[in-house]
Amino acid sequence: MCQIIHSHWQSMALLISAFHKYSGKEGDKLTLSKGELKDLLNAELGDIMGKNTDQAKVDKIFKDLDANSDGSVDFQEYVTLVACLTMMCNDFFIKK
């Protein structure tokens, strides 16, 4: 049980550190710009989502995440992406 809890904490720490690794490269250090989100998607999630070289696809993902339409993705909005990916992975493993 302790191993499972430790593993979950490590996973959460990786998700948090991925956000902060890319946030603030352009402007506010607590949000992701469209360019920062694209870099994060490609570098950290490219194996899951595929490389996002199609700007229209990146624009759609950004718009869907930017719930308050302020032109940036904050950590709470980023968690929406994490939740969606978790649900997709769960569905994938259930079907196998």
**CB atoms closer than 10 angstroms to residue 73:** 26
Backbone angles phi, psi at 13, to 5 degrees: -60, -40
Helix and strand counts by DSSP (H, E) for the chain = 4, 2
> 90 is in which domain, residue-wise?
2-95
Write out pLDDT tens, residues 68-88.
999 999 999 999 988 888 787
Say what the pLDDT of residue 24 is. 85
Tokens of 34: 């469209």
| Chain mean position to CA 83 | 9
Q: Which of 19, 9, 25, 15 is nearest to 74 (CA)?
A: 19
Percent of the chain with pLDDT over 90: 41
Query: Residue 61 sits in a domain of what CATH number?
Result: 1.10.238.10
Indicate the number of domains in the chain: 1
Write out pLDDT tens, residues 55-67.
888 899 899 999 9
